[in-house]
């Protein structure tokens, strides 16, 4: 509802800007009078008459060249002109002047009729007015006070209170009363006017009458034209002032006798600065103002002569108060398209203003136009609309415009080709465009009848954009779709950005103003792109702009996020294939493309980087510029090209298959998305590139960070003993259990780390003495003593991170401080030496172990199951040769097995 | 990266330093340990404080000993002494305990260890289990071939020799000891004696009137009868010949009743009483009894011992016949060793004779070269080592329940005896006839030559009464039974001894006169008899008429076999040896 209201408001505003218009075609009076030829020079202005249809313009153009015809078609065209606002009816003056015709009358039915009463009255007036001026006819009126007061007011440039030229005057000078029925007199102050053309129209006929300077009657030092016109008919008056370049114009409906220009219209000036291509003809109110050679638009070779001209001058224009009947000025630029003049630009300049806004004559209005073909396509974004549902989504869609601007200005695929333009008429244009979009989006059978309205809307918005030199207008709409409430997509959002683009330059370059029945859909392009996360917004927007502007270089969308190296990294590439020019040839697109990737060799790590790396990954400098997926860095891409130009056997290829995901399906068959899974060989940074061709070329690159957790927390249970324990004099370790919890911090190289562990060691010894002690004790059943130990162990760990194997090889070497309490309650007290003389059953013993753990890690989701094989030299401070010679001689070599689980965190 | 390598370096360095410090103490060389432990192992000193564990094989024990030795502090006083004593023991043979010389060397080593100050602390002991098994188990497992192929040329049960490890053979004696030959000269005179007694008695009977009326005045003894009685007296009790030296061999032609007069059983004939009476009845009784004994003892012409012409059969013929009879008795269905002998026959091709020939040719000792050595432990059995006696490895033994029932045994006290004569007994075990296992375990038994012994108590059943006689006592006995001596090694050792039945049967078979019923069968004797031979009940101790069971064998005076003078003759002929005395001390070859 708001949109409709704003659209209506915009329409009203645009209409008000148009206003009524007068036209005068009195320019080039000298040449006009002498240049009646078959050449169309000077007639091209007819093609700027957007009031008319193409056929009517052609008719008038032909009339301009060959002379006017008085048939029904001519009537329709002229009546259209005289009924329209603006200066367009002034082109009749040009035609009459080119063919030195005083008048032309065309009847609606194309037949011949008796002279209309107004024309009869006009003839009578023209015959008696000189006499009246000399006082020979109707002297009482000539000498009346009313006339004197009228002339005084004219002399004072004031509006007269009374008008002397009325029906009484007509009757006085002998105009038949019957001729005055339905006829009114239009008094024109003609001081300084050298050529005045009055165009009037009724439903039966159209009549144009050209007056020369000498045909005006002189009264009291002033010159007047008294013209009889049909009552209630539209009348347009165009006059060429001897001191002015642009003609004076007036238009109105003749409800009663009137006088115009009794007080001369107020003047102002227009400070023009118009840059345009060579061959462009610039007109104001039908008067060519570019100063170019007098030639038809299409007589000039395409591209013009020499450099693009700039019209930089000041032109006097009318700027009078409201109600003065002065139509708005019209600036038109004609270019030749397909050997036919078309309006390159058309815009209005207000000719009236409220009294309080009338500025002094010396203050000029400014007109800045850039009608030249820009080196860069100028793109403006009208706005971004968030469709319902986006309010609760995590995406902040409002800044899409700024993101688009960033891409257009920086991305190598767009920079140099396109430029972001600030659209000053944003509000009006966006509303109009939004309305337009609404209409076009909901097009139905009834919409065909609204074609004209649509055109007007488009004209309003796009014309303003065009006036500001904008080639493409963009409007974005963001759609946010939540995942299924009960599915794997729960809590996830899918986004789609739809871009509606109006290629204004194409629109106007192809004759929009010419009312050639253009299909607006040819100029409105709707593209969309889908993505699955906020982080992909820039990349998706870049791909969307690629599609809009048919940029064929591939773009890696979906910026890679730091992903664990055991997981695949999706690589998605958006690519646009240009449709063949021949419409009957199908677009051929490959089902797959090839990307290449290679690891990035890191610079030498600094200690600070190592410290920081313990907390988070440090992005390589080569990848810094590749991070932004929207506006890519040309310098970074160039650097990547150099890198990949060097042959390297470390380079790998990755085949990307065409995505059939619903988010990737576009209405444009040439806009495709390719997708593949990158499995990094090992942790680290990788550079992925795509080119125009599969095997070479680098058009886009991205850095993939296959992360590995810097901190690995692990727990394990090792079991050994029995036949798995070894001591040269026989191991007594019946069972060795060693549960441990540890943490390992990895260096930035990911394969080497260090850490510590805290564990518990339980060793059950069962056996006999280890040496020849306690000889008086012959033999016993197997002794048993148990060692319960607290293990604190720093360690160094290395692990293979290669993903070529589904498992990882791990090795850990550590030294453990082994603080043990030995339970010797079940050791025969008779073994005095073996018990070290301890009467108590608990013995404290401190040892040092060396542990080597070798394992295979099996990734299980977020954790890793470690199948361990261990070799542990316990109690290296004891003698391995003299193991178990006492209850605290614990030297053993353990070979054990165990299971562990580990998981990391960043 | 540099820091990582530093950490690794420090870790390795610490390990090296710790290892170097811990290896600083001196240990014996491997050769020293191997020599010492080898000697210890060969002499059965393992497992002990030197190394090894009960249940391990000899090889494992030796390895453990070496390991312990290698871990010992060489500078320690005791270790130094052990290395010296054991290393210089000079036990050369691999299995010294399998022969006499080696055993002596090991005894010497043990004595040296005990006598040396630095090694005297060493305690080498064994856990000994003494088990009594049935006679059948013993015979079928360890001497089946001796039983099935009974032969007087060798002992049935080696335990008879008192020392299983030092088995005596005929070659060990001064001459061949053939029991039949030893008694062969007794057969014909005794036949002639009994035959003469019966003839003279019959002659007297013939002259007595046969129709004497009841109540009539007895008629005087006919002269012919008196003459016959006189002849009988003269034959039975001839007057001493002053020309003959009593020390000389008797003139069996002139005095054929020389051996008959010795027999306790023939004393039942009452010859002198009968001739003193010289009545019809006494002569009839004498004739009948003499005939019976002649029949029972195989002295009738055509009998086991006597040819048809009244001469004694040859010794070989008699021996063969007795061998066949005994073998048939042992191997017959439901016989003593029926199954064991059948297996033996099957191994030899199905013939008992072939089986016995095979046994004779091959010999048992070849299959078990350490038959006299220490019994193999379970672990040694698995290792099939040849340094111990493997006969116990596959033995399927049964408790002596039936044997106990046979003898009326009510209580058994198991024990062992050391080579120093020390006897150690365990707790008495009752209910022998119902136990599934009869054994006693002794801890801390010092190694050496050990003899398993047992005191078996009970009451002889009435079946042991002499036929027709009333038992003089209650028949209670307390026998002293012992098994074969073995060297007991350290660790867990089992020794077993058979029930008294085996000795009872074997002695009965091995003494032809016992087998033929000429004398009563010997019973096991009591501990008192073994310890003090003077307490043995026998003619040699002159206690056969004191009415006391002097040796505790359950028999009193004449019930005891050794109260039969024939046993004295047999002892003289080295067929038997007197209880409590050295076996065959003065045997001479009577052949």
A59: exposed, middle or buried (Cβ count in 10 Å: 0-12, 13-18, 19+): buried
Chain B interface disruption, residue of A609, A757, A775, most B CBs within 10 A = A775
Tell me which of A458-472, B5-19, B153-167 is least confident. Answer: B153-167
Cα separation of A688 and A622, whole Å?
12
Chain A contacts to B (CB-CB under 8 A): 605, 728-730, 747, 749, 752, 754, 767-779, 781-782, 794, 796, 813-815, 848, 850, 873, 876-885, 891
Q: Burial code of B306-316, b = ≥16 C-beta within 10 A, e = fewer?
A: beeeeebbebe
Search chain A and give the residue with CA nearest B7: A796
Handedness of CA A113, A117, A121, A122 (dihedral sign): negative
Cα separation of A637 and A657, whole Å?
23
Q: Provide, rounded to the nearest whole percent, the portion of chain B with pLDDT above 70.
A: 84
Chain B interface disruption, residue of A614, A726, A729, most B CBs within 10 A = A729
Chain A interface disruption, residue of B46, B68, B447, most A CBs within 10 A = B68
Cα separation of B331 and A17, whole Å?
145
Search chain A and give the residue with CA nearest B127: A779
Query: Between A and B, how many residue pairs show a Cβ–Cβ distance under 8 A?
Result: 126
ipTM field: 0.71
* Model pLDDT, residue A821: 96
Cα separation of B496 and B44, whole Å?
19
Contact criterion met (CB < 8 Å) for B72 and A773: yes
**CB-based contacts of A202, cutoff 8 Å, min separation 6:** A116, A230, A233
Residue in B63, B112, B125 with CA at minimum distance from that of residue B85? B112
Q: How would you classify the pairing of strands B491-498 and A234-241? A: unpaired
Are B224 and B358 contacting, i.e. CB atoms less than 8 angstroms apart? no
More confident residue, B418 or A622: B418
Give B414 to chain A, closest Cα distance, Å.
24
Give B428 to chain A, closest Cα distance, Å.
26
Confidence of residue B3 (pLDDT cuts 50, 70, 90): low
pLDDT in tens, A508-530: 665 556 555 556 666 778 888 88
Q: What is the average pLDDT score of chain A? A: 82
Find the angle CA(B171)-CA(B173)-CA(B179) to the nearest 5 degrees. 90
Q: State both tokens at A562.
A: 């730091």
Terminal C-alpha separation, chain B: 103
Are A168 and A257 contacting, i.e. CB atoms less than 8 angstroms apart? no
Contact criterion met (CB < 8 Å) for A754 and B4: yes
What residues of chain B lie within 8 A of the CB of A871, using their CB?
none
Q: State both tokens at B161.
A: 């020799």
Split chain A (906 residues) into runs of 10 and give each run's mean pLDDT. 37 31 32 41 83 87 89 90 88 89 89 87 90 88 89 90 88 88 91 92 92 89 92 92 89 89 88 86 89 80 66 88 87 84 82 81 79 78 81 80 87 85 58 57 42 54 70 86 71 85 71 59 80 85 89 84 85 86 73 88 66 60 79 85 76 89 80 90 88 75 87 94 89 93 89 94 90 84 90 94 90 94 92 90 94 92 91 91 89 93 82
Give A803 to chain B, closest Cα distance, Å.
23
Cα separation of A224 and A258, whole Å?
12
Chain B contacts to A (CB-CB under 8 A): 1, 3-4, 7-8, 11, 14-15, 18-19, 21-23, 25, 27, 47-54, 63-64, 67-73, 76, 78-79, 82, 119, 121-125, 444, 490-491
What residues of chain A lie within 8 A of the CB of B25, using their CB?
879, 882
Cα separation of B410 and B432, whole Å?
6
* Model pLDDT, residue B420: 86
Contact criterion met (CB < 8 Å) for A876 and B54: no
Q: Burial code of B66-95, b = ≥16 C-beta within 10 A, e = fewer?
A: bbbbbbbbbebebbbbbbebbbebebeeeb
What residues of chain A lie within 8 A of the CB of B67, using their CB?
728-730, 770
Cα separation of B476 and B464, whole Å?
12
Out of A775, A814, A881, whose CB is closest to B70? A881
* Model pLDDT, residue A684: 84
Confidence of residue B82 (pLDDT cuts 50, 70, 90): very high
- Alpha helices (H) in B428-552, listed in sequence order: 500-510, 512-516, 527-531
* Model pLDDT, residue B365: 43
Give A564 to chain B, closest Cα distance, Å.
23
Are B572 and B581 contacting, i.e. CB atoms less than 8 angstroms apart? no
Are A302 and A279 contacting, i.e. CB atoms less than 8 angstroms apart? yes
Cα separation of B526 and B517, whole Å?
24
Q: How would you classify the pairing of strands B448-459 and B409-418? A: antiparallel
What residues of chain B lie within 8 A of the CB of A752, using their CB?
1, 4
Q: Does the N-terminal peptide bond of residue B506 adopt cis geometry, omega within 30 degrees of 0?
A: no
User: Which contiguous run of DSSP H or E holds residue B260?
Assistant: helix B258-262
Chain B interface disruption, residue of A748, A772, A871, A891, most B CBs within 10 A = A772
Contact criterion met (CB < 8 Å) for A772 and B48: no
* Model pLDDT, residue A817: 94
What residues of chain A lie within 8 A of the CB of B27, using their CB?
881-882
Give B156 to chain A, closest Cα distance, Å.
39
DSSP E strand boundaries for A483-631: 493-503, 524-531, 555-557, 563-564, 569-576, 592-599
Residue in B562, B465, B589, B549 with CA at minimum distance from that of residue B507? B562
Give A645 to chain B, closest Cα distance, Å.
32
Contact criterion met (CB < 8 Å) for B71 and A779: no
Contact criterion met (CB < 8 Å) for A877 and B50: no
- Alpha helices (H) in A442-563, listed in sequence order: 451-467, 504-509, 537-548
pLDDT in tens, A253-294: 888 899 999 888 888 888 888 888 888 889 998 898 888 887
Are A882 and A891 contacting, i.e. CB atoms less than 8 angstroms apart? yes
Q: pTM for this one?
A: 0.60
Cα separation of A460 and A425, whole Å?
10
Are A715 and A902 contacting, i.e. CB atoms less than 8 angstroms apart? yes
């Amino acid at each position: 509802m708001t949109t409709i209201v704003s659209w209506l408001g915009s329409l009203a505003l645009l209409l008000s800007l148009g206003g009524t218009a007068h036209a005068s075609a009195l320019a080039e009076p000298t040449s006009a009078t002498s240049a009646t030829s078959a050449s169309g020079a000077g007639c091209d202005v007819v093609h700027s008459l957007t009031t008319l249809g193409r056929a009517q313009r052609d008719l008038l153009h032909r009339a301009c060249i060959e002379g006017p015809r008085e048939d029904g078609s001519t009537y329709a065209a002229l009546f259209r002109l005289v009924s329209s606002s603006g200066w367009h009816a002034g082109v009749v003056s040009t035609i009459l002047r080119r063919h030195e015709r005083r008048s032309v009358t065309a009847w609606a039915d194309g037949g011949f009729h008796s002279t209309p009463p107004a024309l009869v009255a006009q003839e009578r007036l023209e015959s008696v007015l000189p006499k009246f001026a000399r006082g020979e006819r109707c002297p009482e009126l000539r000498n009346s006070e009313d006339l004197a007061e009228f002339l005084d007011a004219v002399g004072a440039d004031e509006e007269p209170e009374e008008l002397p030229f009325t029906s009484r005057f007509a009757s006085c000078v002998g105009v038949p009363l019957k001729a005055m029925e339905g006829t009114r007199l239009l008094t024109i102050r003609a001081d300084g006017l050298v050529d005045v053309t009055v165009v009037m129209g009724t439903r039966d006929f159209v009549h144009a009458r050209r007056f020369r300077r000498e045909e005006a009657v002189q009264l009291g030092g002033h010159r007047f034209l008294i013209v009889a016109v049909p009552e209630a008919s539209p009348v347009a008056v165009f006059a060429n002032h001897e001191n002015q370049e642009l003609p004076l114009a007036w238009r109105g409906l003749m409800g009663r006798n009137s006088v115009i220009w009794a007080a001369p219209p107020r003047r102002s000036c227009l400070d023009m600065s118009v840059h345009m291509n060579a061959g462009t003809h610039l007109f104001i109110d039908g008067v060519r103002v570019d100063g170019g050679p007098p030639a038809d638009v299409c007589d000039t070779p395409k591209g013009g002569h020499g450099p693009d001209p700039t019209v930089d001058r000041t032109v006097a224009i009318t700027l009078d108060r409201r109600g003065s009947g002065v139509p708005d000025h019209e600036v038109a630029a004609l270019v030749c398209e397909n050997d036919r003049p078309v309006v390159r630009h058309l815009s209005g300049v207000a000719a009236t203003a409220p009294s309080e806004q009338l500025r002094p004559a010396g203050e000029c209005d400014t007109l800045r136009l850039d009608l030249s073909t820009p080196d860069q396509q100028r793109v403006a974004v009208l706005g971004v609309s968030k469709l319902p549902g986006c309010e609760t989504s995590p995406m902040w869609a409002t800044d899409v415009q700024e993101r688009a601007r960033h891409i257009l200005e920086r991305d190598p695929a767009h920079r140099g080709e396109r430029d972001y333009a600030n659209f000053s008429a944003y509000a009006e244009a966006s509303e109009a465009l939004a309305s337009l979009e609404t209409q076009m989006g909901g097009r139905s059978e009834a919409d065909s009848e609204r074609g004209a309205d649509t055109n007007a809307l488009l004209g309003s918005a796009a014309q303003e954009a065009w006036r500001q030199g904008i080639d493409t207008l963009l409007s974005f709409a963001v759609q946010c779709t939540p995942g299924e409430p009960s599915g794997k997509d729960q809590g996830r959002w899918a986004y789609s950005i739809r871009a509606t683009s109006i290629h204004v330059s194409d629109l106007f370059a192809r004759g929009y103003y010419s009312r050639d029945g253009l299909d607006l859909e040819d100029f409105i392009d709707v593209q969309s792109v889908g993505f699955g996360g906020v982080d992909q917004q820039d990349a998706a927007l870049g791909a969307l702009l690629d599609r809009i502007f048919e940029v064929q270089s591939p773009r890696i969308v979906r910026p890679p996020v730091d992903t664990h190296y055991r997981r695949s990294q999706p690589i998605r590439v958006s690519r646009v294939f240009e449709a063949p020019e021949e419409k009957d040839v199908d677009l051929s697109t490959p089902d797959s493309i090839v990307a290449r990737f290679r690891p990035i060799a890191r610079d030498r790590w600094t200690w600070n980087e190592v410290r920081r790396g313990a907390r988070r990954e440090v992005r390589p400098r080569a990848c810094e510029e590749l991070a932004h997926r929207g506006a890519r860095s040309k310098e970074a891409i160039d650097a990547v090209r150099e890198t990949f130009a060097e042959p390297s056997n470390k380079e790998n290829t990755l085949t990307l298959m065409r995505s059939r995901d619903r988010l990737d399906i576009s209405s444009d068959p040439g806009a495709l998305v390719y997708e593949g899974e990158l499995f990094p060989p090992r942790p680290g940074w990788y550079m992925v590139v795509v080119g125009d061709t599969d095997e070479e070329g680098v058009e886009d690159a991205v850095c993939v960070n296959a992360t590995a957790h810097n901190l690995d927390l692990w727990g394990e249970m090792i079991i050994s003993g029995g036949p798995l324990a070894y001591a040269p004099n026989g191991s007594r370790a019946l069972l060795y259990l060693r549960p441990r919890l540890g943490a390992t911090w990895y260096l930035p190289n990911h394969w080497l780390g260090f850490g510590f562990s805290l564990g518990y060691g339980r060793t059950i010894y069962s056996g006999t003495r280890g040496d020849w002690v306690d000889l008086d004790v012959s033999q016993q059943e197997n002794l048993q003593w148990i060692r319960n130990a607290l293990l604190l162990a720093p360690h160094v760990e290395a692990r293979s991170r290669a993903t070529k194997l589904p498992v990882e090889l791990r090795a850990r070497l550590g030294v453990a401080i082994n603080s043990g309490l030995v339970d010797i309650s079940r050791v025969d007290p008779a073994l005095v030496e073996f018990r070290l003389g301890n009467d108590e059953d608990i013995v404290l013993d401190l040892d040092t172990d060396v542990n080597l753990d070798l394992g295979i890690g099996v990734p299980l989701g977020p954790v890793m199951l470690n199948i361990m094989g261990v070799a542990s030299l316990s109690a290296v401070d004891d003698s391995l040769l003299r193991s178990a010679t006492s209850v605290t001689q614990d030297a053993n070599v353990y070979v054990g097995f165990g299971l562990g689980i580990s998981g990391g965190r960043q | 990266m540099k820091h990582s390598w530093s950490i690794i370096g420090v870790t390795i360095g610490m390990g090296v330093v710790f290892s170097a410090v811990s290896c600083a103490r001196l240990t014996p060389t491997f050769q020293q340990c191997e020599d010492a432990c080898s000697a210890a192992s060969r002499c059965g000193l393992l497992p002990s404080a030197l190394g090894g564990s009960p249940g391990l094989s000899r090889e494992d024990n030796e390895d453990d000993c070496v390991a312990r030795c290698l871990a010992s502090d060489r500078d320690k006083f005791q270790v130094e002494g052990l290395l010296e004593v054991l290393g210089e023991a000079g036990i050369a043979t691999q299995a010294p305990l399998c022969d006499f010389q080696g055993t002596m060397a090991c005894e010497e080593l043990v004595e040296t260890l005990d006598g040396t100050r630095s090694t005297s602390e060493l305690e080498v002991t064994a856990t000994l289990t003494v088990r009594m098994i049935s006679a059948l188990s013993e015979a079928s497992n360890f001497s089946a071939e001796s039983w099935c192929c009974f032969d007087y040329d060798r002992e049935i049960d080696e335990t008879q020799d008192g020392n299983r490890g030092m088995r005596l053979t005929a070659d060990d004696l001064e001459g061949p000891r053939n029991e039949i030959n030893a008694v062969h000269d007794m057969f014909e005179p005794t036949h002639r004696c009994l035959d003469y007694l019966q003839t003279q008695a019959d002659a007297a009977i013939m002259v007595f009137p046969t129709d004497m009326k009841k109540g009539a005045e007895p008629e005087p003894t006919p002269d012919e009868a008196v003459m016959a009685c006189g002849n009988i007296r003269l034959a039975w009790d001839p007057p001493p010949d002053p020309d003959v030296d009593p020390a000389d061999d008797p003139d069996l032609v002139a005095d054929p009743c020389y051996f008959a007069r010795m027999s306790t059983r023939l004393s039942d004939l009452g010859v002198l009483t009968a001739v003193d009476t010289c009545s019809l009845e006494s002569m009839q009784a004498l004739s009948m009894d003499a005939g019976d004994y002649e029949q029972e003892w195989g002295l009738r012409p055509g009998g086991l011992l006597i040819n048809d012409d009244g001469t004694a059969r040859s010794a070989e013929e008699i021996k063969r016949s007795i061998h066949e009879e005994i073998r048939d008795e042992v191997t017959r269905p439901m016989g003593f060793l029926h199954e064991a002998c059948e297996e033996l026959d099957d191994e030899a091709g199905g013939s008992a004779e072939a089986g016995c020939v095979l046994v004779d040719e091959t010999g048992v000792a070849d299959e078990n070269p350490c038959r006299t050595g220490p019994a193999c432990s379970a672990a040694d059995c698995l290792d099939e080592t040849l340094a111990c006696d493997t006969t116990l490895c596959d033995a399927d033994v049964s408790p002596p329940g039936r044997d106990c029932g046979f003898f009326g045994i009510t209580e058994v006290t198991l024990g062992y005896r050391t080579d120093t004569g020390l006897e150690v007994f365990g707790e008495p075990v009752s209910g022998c006839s119902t136990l599934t296992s009869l054994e006693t375990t002794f801890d801390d038994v010092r190694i050496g030559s050990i003899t398993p012994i047992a005191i078996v108590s009970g009451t002889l059943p009435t079946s042991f009464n002499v036929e027709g006689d009333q038992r003089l006592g209650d028949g209670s006995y307390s026998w002293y039974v012992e098994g074969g001596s073995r060297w007991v090694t350290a660790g867990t050792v089992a020794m077993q001894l058979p029930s008294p039945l085996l000795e009872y049967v074997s002695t009965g078979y091995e003494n032809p006169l016992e087998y033929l019923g000429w004398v009563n069968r010997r019973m096991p004797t009591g501990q008192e008899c073994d310890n003090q031979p003077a307490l043995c009940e026998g003619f040699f101790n002159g206690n056969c008429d004191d009415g006391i069971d002097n040796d505790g064998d359950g028999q009193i005076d004449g019930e005891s076999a050794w109260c039969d003078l024939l046993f004295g003759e047999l002892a003289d002929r080295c067929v038997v040896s007197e209880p409590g005395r050295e076996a065959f001390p003065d045997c001479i070859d009577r052949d």
